[in-house]
Amino acid sequence: MAIDARHVSKTFAHFNALKDVSLHIQQGELVALLGPSGSGKTTLLRIIAGLDAPDPNPETAVFVNEEDISRKPLSERRVGFVFQHYALFRHMTVFENIAFGLRVRPSKLRPSAAAIRSKVNELLELIQLGRWASHYPSQLSGGQRQRVALARALAIEPSILLLDEPFGALDARVRQDLRRWLRNLHSKIHITSVLVTHDQEEALEVADRVVIMNHGRIEQVGTPDEVFHRPASEFVVTFLGNVNLFHGRVESGQTRVGKAILGGHHESAVPDGKSARVFVRPYELEIERQQTNGASVPSRVSRIQSAGSMVRVELSSEHSEDITVELTHDRFRDLSIQPGDNVFVRVRDARIFVADQPVDDYSI
């Protein structure tokens, strides 16, 4: 079922958690709300769920499958909600935890005991915990408990599934395994899902689309590829992974960083002398012994970290800007560089902003 949130605002005392946010989520999508703490992502999720009420506004509405549920109580919204800290009943077995939502339904709507047993067994197989049905939450790992919490949310056959940082309390390896599991699960059940996370890698790996939020507003909505490779603002490019920042200026429609010239003529007319901010990811830079073109910056190697899948080289430019470059081990061996060496850093790809507006996407 599609979700349509329209003109949603929310104020807590003097803090504006959401500022006129509108968002459409297509049927069957898994959408990630991504942003730093205080960006409004959890508040938006709770308003969709009915756990919080938006600020009064005649234009505000939350539609699920074209039905306005804004004024419906939580109990009537058929929303599955998964919390970060599981919220499982300690005194109940895995089976009973999953069955809970079905057993507490009004008698007229409650399935038979046989139907409940069949539904729970089906979900136990779906989350791959059939052998743990009679165990208690304390006997499970964190990852297993989170899968039980997800199965409990699915047991009531919700119209939409909302997940509030469900993997936040788990260690990195378990989170990685569960992300892959959730993606596979979603491809089987195709329930419209909204995942709140502050983990960029998690959002980019799991979601069909990513909604990047900042200070109560939506900065950008797009596929993982779109938001990562075509960021709409400086905030998006800096939030999604490590970047190097070069300070430049516009001259004759080109961006100049020191003596290096980046990019061709800008599509939009930018006055000469305007300051430009050039963002480059570490793997989009190259180190050379000799200057080969006008797009390289003289620099000095300060530190080398070779442990890992890539070699991380830290440098200082001629203008004392800190630069980080990631190289393959083969390329690092070919260069044979050491701390203190003078080299040239060449920009292969960059995103250029003037006054926080994208001006150019430079690549060679």
User: Any idea what the CATH number is for the domain that residue 146 is in?
Assistant: 3.40.50.300
Q: What is the pLDDT of residue 50?
A: 92
Q: What is the pLDDT of residue 355?
A: 67
Q: What is the pLDDT of residue 364?
A: 45
Residue ending a domain, choose from 171, 205, 238: 238
Supply the CATH number for residue 246's domain: 2.40.50.140
User: Domain check: are 68 and 131 in the same one?
Assistant: yes
pLDDT 10s digits, 310-363: 999 999 988 778 999 999 999 999 999 999 999 999 988 888 888 656 655 655
User: Domain check: are 52 and 182 in the same one?
Assistant: yes
Rama region for 128: left / alpha / beta (φ>0; ψ in -120 to 50; rest): left
User: Domain check: are 250 and 233 in the same one?
Assistant: no
* Structural domain total, the chain: 2
User: Domain check: are 314 and 182 in the same one?
Assistant: no
Q: How far is the C-alpha of 21 from the C-alpha of 3, rounded, in Å?
A: 13
Residue ending a domain, choose from 214, 238, 262: 238
Residue among 222, 218, 192 nearest 210 (CA)? 222
From residue 61, alpha-carbon distances to 22, 111, 337 in Å are 9, 32, 60
User: Domain check: are 212 and 282 in the same one?
Assistant: no
Instruction: Tell me the HSE value of 293 on the side-chain side, using a 13 A CA sphere.
Output: 10
Q: Are 195 and 30 in contact (CB under 8 A)?
A: yes
Domain range holding 327?
242-363
- Kindly report the average pLDDT of the chain as a whole number: 89
Where the chain has pLDDT below 70, the residues are 263-270, 294, 355-364
User: Domain check: are 228 and 269 in the same one?
Assistant: no
Q: What is the pLDDT of residue 206?
A: 94
User: Domain check: are 255 and 229 in the same one?
Assistant: no
Q: What is the pLDDT of residue 363?
A: 56
User: Domain check: are 15 and 46 in the same one?
Assistant: yes
User: Domain check: are 209 and 249 in the same one?
Assistant: no
33 bridge partner residues: 196, 211
User: By CB neighbour count within 10 A (0-12 exposed, 13-18 middle, 19+ buried), where does 316 fall?
Assistant: middle
Q: What is the pLDDT of residue 78?
A: 86
Residue ending a domain, choose from 205, 238, 271: 238
User: Domain check: are 207 and 185 in the same one?
Assistant: yes
Q: What is the pLDDT of residue 295?
A: 73
**Chain mean position to CA 114:** 40
User: Domain check: are 315 and 195 in the same one?
Assistant: no
Q: Are 307 and 273 in contact (CB under 8 A)?
A: no
Q: What is the pLDDT of residue 15?
A: 93
User: Domain check: are 155 and 75 in the same one?
Assistant: yes
